[in-house]
Amino acid sequence: MAYLLKHPDDYTSALHRSEELKTLAEPYLTMRSQIPSGMELSADYEERRRHILHSFSATQTEWEDWHWQMKHRVTDVDTLAQLLPLEASELDVIAKTAQNYRWAVSPYYLSLIDSTNPLDPIRLQALPSLPELDDNFGEDDPMGEALTSPAPCITRRYPDRLIINVTNMCAMYCRHCQRRRNIGETDRHEPKNQLKSALEYIRNNPEIRDVLITGGDALLLSDQTLNWLLAELHAIPHVEIKRIGTRVPVTLPMRITDELVHILANYPPIYINTQYNHPKEVTLASKKAIDRLITAGVVMGNQAVLLKGINNEPHVMKKLNQELLKIRVRPYYIFHAKNVKGTRHFVPRIQDGLAIMDQLRGQTSGLAIPTYILNAPKGGGKTPLLPQYLLHLKGNRAILRTWEGKIVDYTTP
């Protein structure tokens, strides 16, 4: 056991190294406390929420009812003006943009807005702004999704899995939405006969082992329809896993009711991917929704969208991912925002995404590191992007760059 007896010099160098590592941790620790988080909302948050409740003459029980939240989604500036202290000019901008693009925000998500900060990350995602009217940019359907539907409601782009689009409804119409063209003027769930045709397609194609139910927001379906759809999928032997795409844990956490949890628990394995984009969205109410989903045996993941002015900064993305791990949501993807009409002001540079990935690897838990994905144009599919770590590879000799930027040689036998 002689190797356990360290020479005093070993401790000296290890201590020196740990001092070095401590220094590396410092810039983030300094920044972390300045990035707002949903678990430490500012003192006026509760006051704002009470004001919104009061303006609707609503009770706390109504607030916690997702049907009440949906019925009271804010969709016009007159109501908004009563709920948040915004300037007349700010309201004008919203009204003007709304002539081209609809908007709707759940009272819950609205209550997270800090209206004194025009750059509040919740506000930027929720309330319309003039740059949306910039018409000289992007397409309605940069993914070519319209061309990949072999059956009603289905998008198929990969060998063994596909998407069923069940609704175009969402609790909030995110200003950066990558599926804007689907979010029409009227809310619409897909009729049952369309869903039946989609199920028929899945039954007839045994290579489909993974079905992703999405929209819109899949969890805006009624409990009854969800129960029926999940049961139908569960009964197909080759469907090994079911996935649900939903933003309700972020925008409408009260949707995760006991009844819903009971339904989900009946059809394992279910994976739910949601979309948190900023640590401010990780609130206590949201955490409670995630806790309930996990009791149903659901495995949670996060698909953030990399958005200029919201999260295209390494410390913000690091804090987001660390906050997510604390509530048992595993960061899965960071999507580079697509060139969708009306969202130019959100589209970051690829360099931003690479800098974030570079500052995550090694600096924090591997669990907090998602895959950075750029969707290739024209439906080319998800394409991973990574900073360069393999600088050279020829025969058995590789030159690597470590997470700290050291250049090292590696030779295989």
Place of tokens 């805006």: 220
- Give the Cα separation of 248 and 251 in Å (integer): 5
217 binding ligand SF4? (CB under 6 A): yes
- Give the Cα separation of 64 and 100 in Å (integer): 32
User: Interior CA angle at 303 toward 297 and 306, to 5°?
Assistant: 160
Using the rule CB under 6 A, give the single segment among 33-41, 118-126, 151-159, 247-255 that binds ligand PLP. 151-159
177 binding ligand SF4? (CB under 6 A): yes
**How many residues in the chain?**
413
154-173 positions binding ligand PLP, by CB under 6 A:
155, 157-158, 161-163
What is the H or E stretch that residue 21 is in?
Answer: helix 8-32
Nearest-approach distance from CB 53 to ligand PLP, in angstroms: 38
179 contact choice in ligand PLP, ligand SF4, none (CB below 5 to 8 Å, kind-dependent): ligand SF4
Q: Which is nearer to ligand SF4, 335 or 358 (by Cβ)? A: 335
Pair 325, 370: CB distance under 8 Å: no
173 contact choice in ligand SF4, ligand PLP, none (CB below 5 to 8 Å, kind-dependent): ligand SF4
117-176 positions binding ligand SF4, by CB under 6 A:
170, 173-174
Pair 388, 399: CB distance under 8 Å: no
Contact string 202-221 vs ligand PLP (x = CB under 6 A): ----------x---------
| Number of residues in contact with ligand PLP under rule CB under 6 A | 8
151 contact choice in ligand SF4, ligand PLP, none (CB below 5 to 8 Å, kind-dependent): none
What Å distances lie between residue 343 and 119, 333, 337, 394, CA to CA? 16, 20, 9, 43
- Give the Cα separation of 278 and 35 in Å (integer): 9
Q: Which is nearer to ligand PLP, 15 or 367 (by Cβ)? A: 367
Contact string 245-264 vs ligand SF4 (x = CB under 6 A): --x-----------------
Selection from 62, 178, 42 nearest residue 113 by Cα? 42
Q: Can you tell me whether residue 194 is helix, strand or coil?
A: helix
Nearest-approach distance from CB 303 to ligand PLP, in angstroms: 8
Nearest-approach distance from CB 335 to ligand SF4, in angstroms: 10
382 contact choice in ligand PLP, ligand SF4, none (CB below 5 to 8 Å, kind-dependent): ligand PLP
179 binding ligand SF4? (CB under 6 A): yes
377 phi/psi in degrees, rounded to 5? -55, 160
90 binding ligand SF4? (CB under 6 A): no
216 binding ligand SF4? (CB under 6 A): yes
Nearest-approach distance from CB 326 to ligand PLP, in angstroms: 23
- Give the Cα separation of 71 and 171 in Å (integer): 10
Pair 242, 234: CB distance under 8 Å: yes
Phi-psi region of 128 (alpha: psi -120 to 50; beta: other; left: phi over 0): beta
Pair 109, 251: CB distance under 8 Å: yes
Q: Provide the binding-site residues for ligand SF4, judged by CB under 6 A.
A: 170, 173-174, 177, 179, 183, 216-217, 247
Q: Provide the binding-site residues for ligand PLP, judged by CB under 6 A.
A: 155, 157-158, 161-163, 212, 382
